[in-house]
Structure formats: C-alpha cells, structure tokens
Amino acid sequence: MITKRIIACLDCHDGRVVKGVQFVDIIDAGDPATQAARHARDGADEIVLLDITATHEGRATLLDTVRRTARELFVPFCVGGGIRTADDAAQVFEAGADKISVNSAALADPMLIDAIGRSFGAQAVVVAIDARRDPEAADPVHDAQVFVQGGRKPAGRRVVEWAREAEQRGAGEILLTSMNSDGMRTGFDCELTAAVSEAVGIPVIASGGAGTVDHFVDVFGRGKADAALAASIFHFGVSSARSLKEELAKAGVSVRLPC
C-alpha cells in the first residue's frame, strides 16, 4: 500500500539550515549535510533543501551544499531555490539532487517546467507554490493568490489555476506552502491543500504550519495531501519523523514503518 510521505525540509541560507516565522525572523538550525543525514536516519521519507534566499538575492543554488548533502543520502532528495534555467537545474541534478523545485522562475517563464521535464522527466520537477489567502476575499480558498520572491510579491495568479497549469506543463508534484500558516505551528491549511489536490492528478505536498501529530492526521485526511513537509517540528529535537510516523500509524494513517 502506498504510504503518506513525511518530508523533512531544510531551509538554507549561506550554507546553513535556518528557520523563520512567516518567512522572516530567521535563526540558525545547523549544518545541512548533518541535518539531512540525521533526518534520513530518523525515518524521514524524503529530504527537501530550499535555498530560501537564493531568489531575491540573485544567488545560484548552493551546489557545494547540495553535493555534500547528497553524498551519503539514500532517500529522495529535492533541491529548490534560485533555479532559473534548465542549465541551473542540470547543475543541481549533477550535484546529486533527484528532484528540483521551481517557484518564481516558473511563474516568470512557465516553459521552464516543460524544459526541465523534457530533459530530466516529469518526476524530477516539483513546482513550489507559495500561497496566501485573503480572509476578506469572497472565496478565500479559490481566490488564494500565488506569491513570489520568497513571499514578497504577488504573482497575479490564483493558486488552484497555477497548480493546474503546472501539471499540464509536466510538473511531477506540487509543493504547496501556506504563507498564512508557515512557521506558526497552528496546523496546515487543509482547505486550500484539498482544493489543489482535487484540482490536479499529481501528488501534492502540504507545507506550512506543522506543530502537532494531529495536524498531519488532518492534512492527510481532510487536506487530501499525498505528503507533508515539516521543518521546525523536527529541529531542536522536538520530534523525529519516526516517532511522528508511529503516532500517525496509531491514528490509522498508512506510513513507512519500520523505517
């Protein structure tokens, strides 16, 4: 039986893992290679490394960090941040990533999704969407807006529509981050995740807001997520993927155990 994936996310800045609240107030949380290895050992089903500053500072993805992190990592490894061209993607794959995620650059040039998919396969292209809903909107879920440049700028696209276009262009997965929930530990945006998951036929990874085991149970159930991403819940020894998955199994969620 297919299992729900628990993905450990390492937000990186200058080669260090960092954690912020709603994309600001960033604090140091360790070395990416060490952290990735620890998460894999502790039962994470996948590792995502996002270079959160790459886009707005115009820096290339940290290829050395990717190479070092990938060296002894034998679970799927996705890298995002600052990938603007198919050549950028090729370098990240060459350094050891199994998937790349594109965000701002894909909105600026949607053909980028097609191009990377053609060269490396759809399974290797994750389209990351930073979503913000306006509680005042008539339909906050369907009117939720895509933001770019690390959440600084509206892209002028609706989240659900963009997810559908990304799929049509050959994305293999959608990584949906709720900016309203990110870092708050108050739970995932299950309504928005379900709306995107129902709109596309490819897996959706929910991100933003993980704080308790119940939040994961909720997003896999009501939120119809195929995978969920967590960062702060694992940092500082709050919990491990293994213990999280043991709790999820008790709640009836199918997960990879033993791991």
Partner 1 sequence: MRVTVIDYKAGNLTSVLKALRHLGAEPEVTDCDLAMVEAAERIVLPGVGHFAATERLDETGLTPAIRAAIARGVPFLGICVGMQWLYAGSSEAPQQPGLGHFPESCTRFIESPEKVPHVGWNSLEVHNGSRLLAGVEPGEYVYFTHSYKGPVTEDTAATTFYIEPFAAAVERGNVMGVQFHPEKSGATGLKILGNFLGVSR
Q: Where do contacts with partner 1 occur on this chain (CB under 8 A)? A: 1-5, 40, 45, 70-72, 74-77, 93-98, 120-124, 172-173, 201-203, 226-227, 256, 259
Residue nearer to partner 1 on the CB measure, 202 or 213: 202
214 classed as catalytic: no
Residues 206, 7 contacting (CB under 8 angstroms): no
Whether the bond between 258 and the residue before it is cis, its omega within 30 degrees of 0, is yes
Phi, psi angles (nearest 5°) of residue 20: -125, 170
Shortest distance, position 88 Cβ to partner 1, whole Å:
14
| Closest separation in Å from C-beta 111 to partner 1 | 18
Between 133 and 242, name the residue whose CB sits nearer to partner 1.
Answer: 242
Q: Which of 31, 51, 88, 130 is catalytic?
A: 130
Of the pair 69, 177, the CB lying nearest partner 1 is at 69
Block residue for tokens 């396969």? 121
DSSP 128-184: EEEEE--TTSSSTTTT-EEEETTTTEEEEEEHHHHHHHHHHTT-SEEEEEETTTTTT
Residue 115 main-chain phi, psi, to 5 deg: -65, -45
Catalytic residue, candidates 11, 182, 189, 226: 11
Q: How far is the CB of 32 from partner 1 (least distance, A)?
A: 17
For the bound state, the minimum distance from the C-beta of residue 17 to partner 1, rounded and expressed in Å, comes to 21
Report the residue number, 77 or 188, with the smaller CB distance to partner 1: 77
Paired strand residues for 102: 127
11 catalytically annotated: yes
DSSP 61: P
The catalytic site residues sit at: 11, 130
